[in-house]
Amino acid sequence: MEKLEGKVAIVTGGAMGNGLGIVKVFLRHQAQVVILDYSEELNQTLDSLHQEYPNQVIEGYVVDIRDREKVQSICCKVYEKYGHIDILVNNAGVARLETFENMSDEVRDFHFDINIKGTWNVTKAVVPYMKKNSSSSIVNLSSVTGPMVADSGEVAYATTKAALIGFTKGLAMELVNDHIRVNAIMPGYIHTPMVDGIAKDTNASNPKEVIDGIAMGIPMKRLGTIEELGELAAFLASEESSYITGQGIVIDGGSTLPETMSVGV
């Protein structure tokens, strides 16, 4: 029996990037997956997933997680359809690089409204259904950026990702007696469209060289894959991690280990 068999999982931002990696791994482990995503790519992603996993239950809803009432309505539909919601992965998030002094309030609020308030909205909609279960798991996508490290231009993003660690710990304490575990994943560089976008934002003539340069600064000399992150999410979502709650788990190829920029001799 696969470790997520019979479980119903909601994954936000599952149409691409880390979210898509999580969705694919969950499907491999026999979960029934519902994607919430604002991207126009959702339908294309669903078509591809249905071809790749023809015998699996996979569906999606186009929704802006800033819309609290719409989120609540969709989560209610999911519960009514399947009779239970066992796993929530709060993956949806945004990152736009801009210095603190140059960042507009609109871009600041864009980060806060999606990365923090959006996560809050979906979690609040799902928790009442999870309380009906004997065991449930919430996995929040934080980052090493904010809680551990930061680069110039990441103030808004780093603030939101650090906030998600506090959210994870506070919620874990409140829900522990309801048999709901709450943990966070703190990725370093995973090769996603967001990372490709950051590379392009540097205005380098060859964005691939930017990514290769990032890889050289990581002890493992490579970026992580979305499937590797997905396997960590599956572990935290399953009973294999039944004694883990309120934790932030780093997956970064060792990028936060070196004391200096030089990692070789």
- Greatest alpha-carbon span in the chain: 59
**Cα angle 215, 159, 14; round to 5:** 65
Distance CA 14, CA 90 (A): 10
Measure the CA–CA gap between 9 and 18, rounded to whole angstroms: 15
Q: How far apart are CA 52 and CA 222, in angstroms?
A: 27
DSSP alpha helix (H) spans, the chain: 17-28, 42-52, 68-82, 105-111, 119-130, 155-175, 193-201, 207-216, 226-237
Whether 79 is catalytic is no
Out of 38, 79, 157, 189, pick the active-site residue: 157
Helix (H, G, I), strand (E, B) or coil at 88: strand
Which run of H or of E encompasses 93?
Answer: none
Residues tagged active-site: 157
